[in-house]
Amino acid sequence: MRTTGIMGGTFNPIHNGHLRLAEAAYRQLSLDEVLFMPSGKPYMKSELEVADAAVRAEMTRLAIRDIPYFRFSPMEIEQTGNTYTYQTLERLRAEHPDTAYYFIVGADTLFQMPQWVAPERIFANCTVAAAVRDDKTAADMEEQILSLKRQYDASVVLLRTPPVDLSSSTVRRRIAGGLSVAQDVPESVRLYIEERGLYR
């Protein structure tokens, strides 16, 4: 079986925290590759706060272009209407039955997933690889994993990652405030944002 990680998100913009989490999953789970998959129309976010899909896709491509085991996937941005994780996973499994998928998430997302659309179909089609963060204790994480196992027969593995106090919203605020984001995003992404005057 091939093993593929899925790094999904709005990537508005993609930042170094995303890359570090994907790198941790790739190395700790001995994955063959990690797919970076920007969401097309995320149903949980207002369109007003999300940059155009083509812009987010290009930033993602730029961020990962020099890393051979990171691969861009246009699957969700090419869909019309809202995009749902369970549909993406079911399509991937149908098209690639010889591949085991690991859905890579931050610690907060692990606690939010029961509120997503059709969580039982998400957990049926992947193993969730969740980062451990300082604001979640080991006991909190283990309790949530047991809850997901009981409720959905979920398979969850934990990733050891260095703490990253960074989010896309923080990056956008810094740009809007005229602050440097050179330490927050890859240089290629920073230049793309600057050239196009994004998030001003």
C-alpha R_g of the chain: 16
Q: Is residue 184 classed exposed, middle or buried when 0-12, 13-18 and 19+ CB atoms within 10 A define those classes?
A: buried
Q: Which residues contact 21 (CB under 8 A, 6 or more apart)?
A: 7, 104, 106, 131, 159, 161, 164
Structure-token pair, residue 18: 């995303």
The mean pLDDT of the chain is 93
Give residue 111's pLDDT. Answer: 94
Length of the chain in residues, anyone?
200
Give residue 49's pLDDT. Answer: 61
Mean pLDDT of 35-63: 82
117 or 49: which leads in pLDDT: 117
Percent of the chain with pLDDT over 90: 82
For 165-178, how does the pLDDT look when each residue is reduced to its tens digit (9 = 90+)? 799 999 999 999 99
Give residue 40's pLDDT. Answer: 83
Give residue 144's pLDDT. Answer: 95
Give residue 116's pLDDT. Answer: 96
For 76-88, how does the pLDDT look when each residue is reduced to its tens digit (9 = 90+)? 999 888 889 999 9
Listed by start position, the domains of the chain span 2-196
pLDDT at residue 46 greater than cutoff 90: no
Give residue 45's pLDDT. Answer: 52
Give residue 42's pLDDT. Answer: 59
Please choose, from the candidates 4, 6, 65, 2, the residue with its C-alpha nearest in 3D space to the C-alpha of residue 38.
6
For 129-178, how does the pLDDT look when each residue is reduced to its tens digit (9 = 90+)? 999 876 677 788 999 999 999 999 999 999 988 777 799 999 999 999 99
pLDDT at residue 182 greater than cutoff 90: yes
For 27-44, how does the pLDDT look when each residue is reduced to its tens digit (9 = 90+)? 999 999 999 999 987 555
Q: Which residues contact 199 (CB under 8 A, 6 or more apart)?
A: 13, 51, 171, 172, 175, 176, 193
2-196, superfamily in CATH? HUPs (3.40.50.620)
Q: Is the CB of residue 159 less than 8 Å from the CB of residue 129? A: yes
